[in-house]
Structure 1
Amino acid sequence: MPTTTEQFVHGLGVSPGLVCAPWLAFGTPVTTSAEDPVGESVTAEAARVKDALATVAADLGTRAAQVDGVASEIPLVSAALARDPGILSAAEENLVAGMPTAHAVGVAFDGYCATLAALGGYLAERVADLRDLRNRTVAVLLGVPMPGTPDPGYPFVLVARDLPPADTAMLGGSDVVGLLTAEGGPTSHTAILAKSLGLPAVVNCADVDRLVEGRPVVLDGSTGAVVVEAVRTATADSEGVGLFRTEFLYLGRRVAPTLDEQTATYTAVYPHVLATQLEALAAAAAATGADLWVMAPMVATAEEAAQFAALARSRGIATVGAMIEIPSAGLCARDLLEHVDFVRIGTNDLSQYTCAADRMAGGLATLLDPWQPAVLDLIGAVGAAGAEAGTPVGICGEAASDPALAPVLVGLGVTSLSMVAPSLGAVRAGLAATDLDRCREMAIAARGAPSPQAARSAVAALASGAPR
């Protein structure tokens, strides 16, 4: 049985979204030392510093011209800071004191960083801007490449102490699909730019050094939760990988991944899980002997399900299913189930589409509750259709990880629950303590309640053995 090192860390979520991808660190900045060689004359070295600052400012101006909106404004602000005569003056004082040139610049910037950090608040968050300018100027003086964003050729989460604003501004269209930093706050440039670019982001995560290199990271930009996972299902006593999001291979790319690349990726991640995608999945399954189940998301009609099933089977996929996350699919479940081998209900999207409530709108959280009677009615309709057709019906949303709701879902006809590994124990314990007849009673009670709160109370009463 494989062994894994589970890593759970938490920061401040500043840009919503959920992403799973390998992580890579931002380039390491160049260091300086008081023991570095000293230049020939203060005048000559001061001129070099002035030229280096001008070079950095010009580079930032070029970057600003390549992007629009907020992403353009931030490099321009940094360019203006690079032209601040105070920086040059402080560096010249350090040169007069006998410091090596690059170190003199580093110490000058460090002094300004310390001043802003002591002021706190918004000004303290500008320390990242000055630190970035320091690293760029030092790199120019030493004639080495500036630290920057990796370019591996595949989607990844970018991890850093605090991302330089000029580099963050250039992430649009890159392979970066999420951001994680040890420092920063809700008004930092990382936060502002991440929102404008639509990148999930977590900042102020002091435990980033606990991340395990080479393993994928799951990052939730809404809650600030960060998890590093390997093959965790093997140690969690589950029956496999319920859902592998193949769209992550496409995020942040300018061209689609090749057949060979997809095959290699699906093979490497132990898959359980349009034509080129399906061929790659079938090839990966053949290479590993995996029991492959493939389903299509956002299916709205029985006709769409039939078309996808025919295409998948023509490419060698034996077990084909569909996601029920649009109310119309739930309402026509009996017809839809004639064409597929299984269905999975995505309760997150089903809740938002049933109640017309955006998942990102915190003020509408009550409408997004999977205990909403209308949502339970749709799940019940799909469960009944599945039982009638002898077709498996699973849950692939957050509802499956609720130990109190799990018996209700079983009572509605759900045959499998897919959830994050840490939730397995509590859900399993809840189901083990409840027989099928009581699950069905709980389902009836929940569907008959006028509100999510009333549904929870009714189910809790049955769970405690109290009469209805």
Structure 2
Amino acid sequence: MSHDATTATTPGPGTVLHGVGVGRAGVVGPVVQVAGAPAVPADEPGTAPDQVEAVQERVAAAFDAVAAGLRAQADAASGPAVDVLGATAQMADDKALRKQTAAGIAGGSGPVSALDKAVDGFATMFEQAGGYLAERVTDLRSVRDRVVAHVLGVPEPGVPTLTQPSVVVGKDLAPADTATLDVSHVLAIVTELGGPTSHTAIIAGQLGIPCLVRVAGATGLADGTVVAVDAAAGTVEVDPAPEVADAFAQRAEVAAHLAEDHAPGATADGHRVLLLANIGTAEDAERAAAQAVEGSGLFRTEVLFLERETAPTREEQAATYARALRAFGDRKVVIRTLDAGADKPLKFATQPDEENPALGVRGYRLVRTVPDVVTTQLEALGDARRETGLEPWVMAPMIATPGEAHDFAAAARAQGITKVGVMVEIPAAALRADAILAEVDFVSIGSNDLAQYTMATDRLRGELADLIDLWQPAVLDLVAATAAAGQRAGKDVGVCGESASDPLMAVVLTGLGITSLSMAPVAVPAVRYAVKAHTLEQARAVGQAALAADDAPGARAAALAALAPGVADALGI
């Protein structure tokens, strides 16, 4: 595998590169390319039998140094960076990766070659698993590159010291690098690889930094080239005209003005739509609770479980849930039970022999293989409820049948939980939403997985982006059917996937009957404005326009055309 740095050949002025945007901001600034990985010697000599132990010790010391450096960065960091750096340090400590590398050295390979082969093996496995695990490949390769640098005695790769506000560009920026960026000097992040739900994209979103991923040709931009990065449009323009910066400045002014509105989410005629925050840790809860959100519509509890050798105890979990509940006080907090397995594997629970893990034992289905893990989590949630006197809304992921919904509701209510719901992310659940809602108090639509399963398309495959588009009419049909079932039952139907953060889609969802929208807090002001600019009847018209389209681009265009006058211009959509 080659690690040679890409030679920059800058596209000409006016060239526009396309990618997937995270956020809605636009910025103009000079490019700073991320330092490439150290070159692997093409003629690296093998390891002589009498040198095996010494070489193994040298590589082990390099792993130790990388892990220690990452942990030191985590100790000095705050916010989401702490978890990301800690997770990457754990990867550097991974016994299986070290063992495979040592075995390669024992077999006569040179140290870098042995490490490279071991990493390639794990990367292939991760990519085949897809989803969250596929996006950990970036972390894995970051660890490899750092260890290689230590073995070769050269500087570690990464972002150079920034001396002015810059657009950071790289093949695939490592989350550990993203977590330690000097945000005062980072205008935007652009990568050729990665996905919109990668660690890097998530951190950028939480920091309010516009980010573009899957931008082909980005590494061909020479240092110092001035580019316009438009996260909303998903574009990078080389040497933009002066009016582009003016338009971005106007958009920023509008965004700042929108952020001053702290009113509850509602249409122009007072129809309520709760605007909630997605969180993954108790720290996220405390940060989000300080902002103008009406609670949390998705607490991803798997963050507590990932990267651990054993499950967190009942007491550990209860303390975390209680902390999140206290952060929001009397505001709504929806806690999703463990959504792990398949693309988010657990060392103590995931089945090792699943040929198609995305369709295997994941989410609520863990009750079939490790029921104690599910039971302990519900016990901890009940403990947190009793300790705080606050009522969590608890939902299970990957529910496929009314029977599963019934069983989960019974188990949750046995722990004193009174607000019980399930995720709708499998088409079968949407098609049987009436029966499922008869068993639970609410449902929440995970639009990312619903699109993935409806269109039979891995949401991380860039070449299939047109199929996984959340505007696909088939996906909107299932959302509409679920919302209609909620209206018939008089029960809440929320959306906590990527759809909720898109102001245009938020109007569509409101018109279809969705009662709450949960997203990254930074997305709330624009969504609040878009919903508030329409009466319920107008939102219904926007929703019906999208449903009537034949394809995803047509659905978006129809919704855009049906928006109230001035809204699209105000939001830059």
Q: Shorter chain as normaliser: what TM range?
A: 0.5 to 0.7
Residue 57 of structure 2: aligned partner: 59
Distance of aligned partners of 1:310 and 1:147 in 2 relative to their CA distance in 1, 3 Å threshold: closer
Match of 1:427 in 2: 527
How far apart are residue 245 of structure 1 and its match?
1.6
1:158 partner letter: L
Q: Give the C-alpha shift of residue 462 in structure 1.
A: 1.3
Deviations 1:260-285 (Å, cap 9, x if unpaired)? 12112222333732221111011112
Secondary structure of the structure 2 residue equivalent to 1:276: helix
Which amino acid is the alignment partner of residue 386 of structure 1? G
Distance 2:499 2:414 in 1: 34
Structure 2 counterparts to residues 76-155 of structure 1, below 5 A: 78=59, 132=62, 147=68
| Structure 1 residues 190 and 234, CA gap change in structure 2 (3 angstroms) | farther
Following superposition, the deviation at residue 163 of structure 1 comes to 7.5
Alignment partner, residue 157 of structure 1: 84
Q: Is the 8 A contact 1:165 1:190 kept in 2?
A: no
- SS of equivalent residue, structure 2 residue 534: coil
Q: How many residues were matched structurally?
A: 320
1:256 aligns with 2:311: yes
Q: 1:436 aligns with which of 518, 536, 557?
A: 536
1:285-364 aligned within 5 A: 285-364=385-464
Shift of 1:430: 0.3
Cα offset, 1:292, TM superposition: 0.3
Partner Cα separation in structure 2 for residue 369 and residue 191 of structure 1: 32
Q: Please, which runs of 5 or more residues in structure 1 have no aligned partner? A: 1-9, 15-52, 61-77, 80-130, 137-145, 174-186, 213-217
Corresponding residue to 2:496 among 396, 405, 409? 396
Please state how far the C-alpha of 1:463 moved relative to its aligned partner. 1.0
Percent identity between the aligned chains?
42
Matching residue's letter, 1:360:
L
Unpaired runs of 5+ in structure 2?
1-31, 37-50, 75-81, 100-114, 127-132, 143-157, 160-176, 184-195, 208-282, 327-332, 336-373, 567-573
Aligned Cα root-mean-square deviation (Å): 4.0
**C-alpha displacement of 1:364:** 0.9
- For residues 199 and 547 of structure 2, what CA distance do their matches in structure 1 show? 33
Alpha-carbon contact 2:63-2:93 (below 8 Å) kept: no
Deviation digits for residues 297-355 of structure 1, max 9, x if unmatched? 00001111011001110111110000000000000001111010000000000001001
Who wins on radius of gyration, i.e. which is larger? Answer: 1
Work out the CA distance in 2 between the residues paired with 1:330 and 1:376.
11
SS in 2 for 1:381: helix
- Contact 2:511/2:539 (8 A) holds in 1: yes
1:195 match: 123
Change (3 A) 1:260 1:402: same
Between the aligned partners of 2:118 and 2:447, the Cα distance in structure 1 is 31
Q: TM-score if structure 2 supplies the norm length?
A: 0.49
Please give the alpha-carbon distance, in whole angstroms, between the structure 2 residues aligned to 1:267 and 1:165. 29
Matched, 1:236 2:163: no
SS in 2 for 1:323: strand
Alpha carbons of structure 1 residues 148 and 460: separation in structure 2 relative to 1, 3 Å: closer
**1:250 to partner: Cα distance:** 2.1
Deviation digits for residues 125-157 of structure 1 (CA, Å, limit 9, x no counterpart): xxxxxx939969xxxxxxxxx9577699xx953
* Inter-partner Cα distance in structure 2 for 1:361 and 1:450: 23
Q: 1:369 matched to which residue of 2?
A: 469
In 1, Cα distance between equivalents of 2:549 and 2:83:
44
Contact 2:64-2:93 within 8 A present in 1 as well: no
Please give the TM-score of this superposition, normalised by the length of structure 1. 0.60
> Do the aligned partners of 2:476 and 2:547 also contact (CA within 8 Å) in 1?
yes
> 1:357 and 1:172, CA in 2 relative to 1: closer, same or farther beyond 3 A?
farther
Q: Which one is further off, 198-207 or 369-378?
A: 198-207
Partners of 2:320 and 2:55 in 1: CA distance: 41
